[in-house]
Amino acid sequence: MIGNRAHLLAMAEDQVARFIPDLTIKERDLVRTLFFDYLRRGHHGTGWTWNGCYYSSLEQTMGFTLYRATGNADFLNWNWDTIVVTERTMFYANRFLAEQIEPGQQVRWLACRTECQHCRVYEGQRFTVVEPGTPRKDPMTQVWVGKWADLSPSGPGPYSAVASCREPVVPLHEHCRCIWTHYVELTEAQQQRLER
């Protein structure tokens, strides 16, 4: 199973920046490099240096680095906060499924504290994890590494306001911060102890 986990993790990593429209392959690779460098360093809202320049956040780094690499000032106007949060949520959700869950096990949707009306529909629901190559998957009851919402833009900017996909998938929409968690079936005695 270790080899399969490595393959699934590679799939999760391959999803990063894949669905940001209007990027060339070179620009997409640059976004991926910045994203993984940031994660490797373990930064969470602190400043860091990239190519000799100091940036206060990954969001600021993305726009300025793409602008410097391409000369396209439009990158400075993109909402990089939304892009980074959405990409990070997608990567962590896929990595969780790849590293910690076996096919056939169930996961539970855990909505962010500031859940939106779209995510609230799935809060607490259970879904069965299947292999990505499983034929005839049920998109309403099953999830897999690489399952994604259509975040195609409906207006200016890289993502639509709400995913056109209404199947359970994390992230469900731009700036979504929901996660998958382990689902554990409690015995009646365990449930009673929790309720005390």
State the pLDDT confidence band at 1, using cuts at 50, 70 and 90. very low
Any idea where the domains of the chain sit in the sequence?
Answer: 2-195
Comparing 66 with 186, which gets the higher pLDDT? 66
Pairing of strands 179-182, 106-110: antiparallel
pLDDT score at 55: 58
- Residue 12's φ and ψ, nearest 5 degrees, are -60, -45
- DSSP designation for 182: E
The b-or-e profile of 92-115 (16+ CB within 10 A means b, else e) is: bbbbbbbeebebeebbbbebeeeb
CA distance 32 to 13: 9
- Residue 23: pLDDT band (50, 70, 90) is confident
Calpha distance 135→137 (Å, rounded): 6
Residue 44 CA to residue 120 CA, distance in Å, equals 27
In tens, the pLDDT along 135-184 reads 999 989 999 998 876 555 544 444 544 444 568 889 888 888 899 999 98
